[in-house]
Amino acid sequence: MGSVDGRHLDKIMYVEDDPDIRAIAELALQEVGGFTTRLCSSGKEALEVVSEFEPDLIILDVMMPEMDGPQTLKSLRHLPETRLTPVVFMTARIQSSEIEEYLALGAIGVIPKPFDPMTLADDIRRLVKEQVSE
């Protein structure tokens, strides 16, 4: 757990405050993608359940009330279980400067919103694969 070797990518935690997006992402990750998925509605909830769920990868929405995506990532890095867990950001802002900023925080990739539910899982697999080959 923790580091992903590309062959073992099963459990994904998805953190997003918008319930509709959560629902469609659940379909995209679980039904289309075949992952085991745990949904959280806030960064706070994610921090509470992450140790028990032990995700192989975490997807964080950037813009959330109270604790936003980057803040959540920083807190996750303080927990021993998720110190190295790959994180992907999802954002509706598509400025390359921001994307670089997120990558500098230690995310392995950024998925732009709106995402296509039919290809979301592939996009994530590809991000992880590239991470491994680097």
Partner 1 sequence: MTNGANIPLHKRLQVLQDRFVERAQGDIQTLCNFADLIDRHHLERNDLVACYQLLHRMAGSAGTFGLPELGAAARVIEKQIKPLAEATEDSVDDKRDAVSVPASLAGAIRKLADLIQNPPQSKDSVAEPANDGEDSFGGTHGMQIHVMALAHSPDYLSGLVAELAVYGFLCDVASFSQPEAAVTRLKEHSGATIIMCVDSELDDVLSFRNENLPKAEHRRFPVVCVGHDGSFESRYRVAARGATAYFCEPLDMPEMAERIESLALERGSRLQGRVLIVDDDKELGEHYSLVLSRAGIKARLVSEPFELMSELSAFEPDLVLMDVQLGGYSGVTLARLIRFEPRWLGLPIVYLSSEDNPENQLDALAKGADEFLVKPVTDDYLVRSVRIRCYRARQLSDLMNRDSLTGLLKHSLIKQEVDKELARCRRSGHPSCVVMLDLDHFKRVNDTWGHGQGDIVIRTLANLLRNRLRETDMIGRYGGEEFLLVLPQCEPRIAAEFIGAIGKSFAELAFGVGDDSFQVTLSAGVASINDFAVADQAIEAADQALYERKHAGRNGVTIYAR
Contact between 86 and 131 under an 8 Å Cβ cutoff? The reply is: yes
Phi then psi for residue 11, to 5 deg, are -95, 120
Number of residues binding to partner 1, judged by CB under 8 A:
29
For partner 1, the binding residues in 21-40 under the rule CB under 8 A are 21, 23-24, 26-27, 30-32, 37
Closer to partner 1 at the Cβ: 8 or 126?
126
For partner 1, the binding residues in 36-65 under the rule CB under 8 A are 37, 63
CB of 25 to partner 1, least distance (A): 8
In sequence order, what are the residues at sequence separation of 6 or more whose Cβ sits closer than 8 angstroms to the Cβ of residue 41?
A: 15, 16, 17, 19, 22
Does the protein bind partner 1 through residue 119 (CB under 8 A)?
A: yes
Closer to partner 1 at the Cβ: 54 or 75?
54
Contact between 37 and 66 under an 8 Å Cβ cutoff? The reply is: no
What do you get for the CA distance between the two ends of the chain, in Å? 19
CB of 47 to partner 1, least distance (A): 20
Contact between 47 and 75 under an 8 Å Cβ cutoff? The reply is: yes
Give the footprint of partner 1 on this chain (CB under 8 A). 18, 20-21, 23-24, 26-27, 30-32, 37, 63, 91-92, 94, 96, 99, 109, 112-119, 126-127, 130
